[in-house]
């Protein structure tokens, strides 16, 4: 049985695919946010499609926020798809995905440190040996981000 979220992911992927031979079109914020519910429940096809979606500007930030929200609820899935996407090999990519928390955290440094700490704890719960190097890279980035948020909270 095909899940509705899988169909949604496929349709959104197609809508952002190269058109008219002029290269890829960046996804809009609305297209990225349409993935939010499916990603939050751990729909692998939606997570995979969102990782692959070409974005820039505000849509890229929204993409990071949606993907980062997956960490606490489905840390293993997050790491698996992060590895598959290749974004785990790029520190600036990791910084964005792990550290973009959304508007509700702007200028709330203690809350940022708390949320980043919860993401860290969730990732530590993943014991898969094949994911350990990527998990540890994420932990190092989160440790830096938590330290920065703590310093700004003072």
- Cα separations in angstroms, 43 against 24, 103, 120, 131: 24, 24, 22, 19
Print the domain residue range for 124. 4-153
Interatomic CA distance for residues 118 and 124, integer angstroms: 10
User: Residue 19: what pLDDT?
Assistant: 43
Low-confidence winner among 3-12, 25-34, 107-116 (lowest mean pLDDT): 3-12
Low-confidence winner among 11-25, 39-53, 59-73, 105-119 (lowest mean pLDDT): 11-25
Query: pLDDT digits over 35-94, tens only?
Result: 999 999 999 999 999 999 989 889 999 999 999 999 999 999 999 999 999 999 999 999
Q: How many domains does the chain have?
A: 1
The residue written with tokens 């995905």 in the block is: 97
Interatomic CA distance for residues 104 and 111, integer angstroms: 9
Q: Is the pLDDT of residue 21 over 60?
A: no
The pLDDT of 107-124, averaged and rounded, is 97
């Amino acid at each position: 049985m095909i899940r509705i979220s899988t169909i949604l992911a496929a349709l959104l992927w197609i809508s952002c695919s190269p058109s008219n031979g002029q290269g890829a079109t960046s996804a809009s914020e609305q297209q990225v946010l349409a993935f939010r519910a499916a990603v939050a429940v751990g729909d692998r096809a939606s997570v995979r499609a969102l990782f692959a979606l070409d974005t820039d500007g505000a849509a890229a930030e929204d993409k990071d926020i949606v993907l980062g929200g997956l960490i606490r609820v489905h840390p293993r899935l997050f790491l698996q798809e992060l590895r598959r996407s290749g974004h785990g090999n790029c520190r600036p990519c990791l910084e964005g995905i792990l550290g973009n928390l959304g508007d509700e955290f702007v200028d709330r440094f203690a809350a940022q440190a708390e949320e980043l700490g919860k993401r860290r704890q969730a990732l530590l719960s993943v014991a898969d040996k094949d994911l350990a190097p990527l998990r540890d890279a994420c932990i190092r980035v989160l440790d830096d981000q938590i330290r920065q948020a703590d310093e700004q909270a003072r």
